[in-house]
């Protein structure tokens, strides 16, 4: 199997849509999680491709807060691919399918993947609205996008996951945040299958395991991106205390709305910073 085929079951028609929409190739792809889609509204020269028009995107039903479209456009003067929403394992897709945004971005020539998500705060000092720079993850989803998937050399995909969240990009993100007065703390993201939220006992377990935030996404994309040689940086928006009393999906979305503006500013400044460095 060649590298292109491993890239991974991405139909050429989708690569054409992602690339063609841009004119010039994007180097950076950003996956926007629950309630964080707003950045795409700021993109100039935007071309919108609904996920339903992408031949390789897994067919899943809509979940409130997840827009479901690829927006190719210009942010802070740089060409970017913005994925508004994602397919989640809890919707019944495979981990390989859940990683489709990363695979399409790699196939379209992006070398940097920015992942964002809404997450529950496991660490006790975290409050709704806090932004956490992901330093590492715990894959507790019970699956992996590389199961049965040969690596670029055709061998087995024993992909190193040390520094999966690129130390250099994390530093850039930290400095960017500092320069515009946004506070970030570092944290380990625990990825769980969901869709039920965690029990208090599970939250205690996650704390023991070293998790700071918990969510139901991101891990498959990050693993696939690393397998494809992309650099990754990730941010979690804390929408609630994990196992919070009376937690509803609606509350998660509302907390997202309030902090989404800050996330948008940070992303725009980060993209500008990356563009200035390249
Ligand atoms: N648990 C898991 N996923 C989440 C949560 C949570 O508390 N909040 C937002 N996504």
Task: Read off the pLDDT of residues 70-119 as tens digits, 9 standing for 90 and up.
Answer: 999 999 989 999 999 999 999 999 999 999 999 999 999 999 999 999 99
Give the ligand 1 atom nearest the CA of 244: 7
| d(CA 165, ligand 1 centre) in Å | 20
**Mean confidence (pLDDT) of the chain:** 87
Give the structural domain span for 106.
4-277
Statement: residue 3 has pLDDT above 50 = no
Statement: residue 207 has pLDDT above 70 = yes
Q: Is the dihedral of CA 30, 33, 174, 46 positive or negative?
A: positive
Number of residues that make up the chain: 278
- Predicted confidence at residue 151, as pLDDT, reads 59
Mean pLDDT over 217-224 rounds to 97
| d(CA 246, ligand 1 centre) in Å | 13
Among 88, 91, 119, residue to substitute to test ligand 1 (most atoms within 8 Å of Cβ): 119
Statement: residue 1 has pLDDT above 60 = no
Three-state DSSP class for residue 262: helix
- Predicted confidence at residue 61, as pLDDT, reads 65
| d(CA 198, ligand 1 centre) in Å | 8
Using CA positions, which residue lies closest to atom 10 of ligand 1?
119
Give the ligand 1 atom nearest the CA of 243: 7
Reported pTM: 0.92
Percent of the chain with pLDDT over 90: 61
Omega before 142 within 30 of 0, i.e. cis: no
Statement: residue 153 has pLDDT above 90 = no
- How far apart CA 68 and CA 61 sit, in angstroms, is 10
Among 140, 192, 198, 235, residue to substitute to test ligand 1 (most atoms within 8 Å of Cβ): 198
Residue-wise pLDDT for 36-53, tens only, equals: 778 888 888 888 999 999
Binding-site residues, ligand 1, Cβ < 6 A: 118-120, 197-198, 214-216, 239-240, 242, 252
| d(CA 136, ligand 1 centre) in Å | 17
| Phi/psi of residue 61, nearest 5 degrees | -70, 160
Domain count for the chain, please give it: 1
Domain of 230, CATH number, reads: 3.40.50.1580
Percent of the chain with pLDDT over 70: 86
- How far apart CA 136 and CA 185 sit, in angstroms, is 13
| d(CA 11, ligand 1 centre) in Å | 32
**Continuous H helices in the chain:** 3-6, 12-20, 95-98, 100-107, 167-179, 200-209, 219-227, 249-277
Higher-scoring residue by pLDDT: 162, 251:
162
| d(CA 139, ligand 1 centre) in Å | 15
| d(CA 121, ligand 1 centre) in Å | 8
């Amino acid at each position: 199997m060649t590298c292109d085929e491993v890239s991974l079951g991405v139909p050429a028609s989708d690569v054409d849509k992602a690339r063609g929409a841009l004119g010039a190739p994007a180097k950076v792809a950003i996956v926007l999680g629950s309630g964080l889609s707003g950045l795409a509204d700021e993109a100039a020269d935007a071309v919108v491709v609904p996920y339903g028009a992408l031949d390789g995107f897994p067919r899943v039903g809509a979940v409130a807060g997840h827009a479901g479209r690829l927006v190719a456009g210009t942010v802070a003067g740089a060409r970017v691919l913005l994925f508004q929403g994602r397919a989640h394992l809890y919707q019944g897709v495979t981990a390989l399918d859940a990683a489709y945004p990363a695979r399409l971005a790699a196939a379209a020539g992006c070398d940097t993947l920015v992942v964002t998500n809404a997450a529950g705060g496991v660490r006790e000092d975290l409050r709704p609205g806090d932004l956490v720079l992901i330093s590492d993850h715990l894959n507790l989803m019970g699956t992996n996008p590389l199961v049965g998937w040969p690596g670029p050399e055709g061998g087995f995909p024993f992909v190193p996951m040390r520094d999966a969240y690129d130390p250099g990009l994390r530093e850039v993100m930290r400095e960017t945040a500092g320069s515009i007065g946004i506070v970030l703390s570092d944290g380990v993201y625990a990825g769980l299958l969901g869709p039920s939220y965690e029990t208090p006992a599970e939250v205690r377990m996650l704390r023991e395991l070293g998790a700071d935030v918990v969510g139901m996404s991101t891990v498959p994309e990050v693993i696939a991106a690393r397998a494809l040689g992309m650099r990754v940086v990730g941010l979690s928006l804390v929408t609630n205390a994990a196992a919070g009393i009376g937690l509803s999906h609606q509350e998660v979305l509302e907390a997202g709305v309030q902090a989404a503006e800050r996330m948008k500013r940070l992303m725009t400044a980060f993209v500008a910073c990356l563009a200035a460095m390249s």
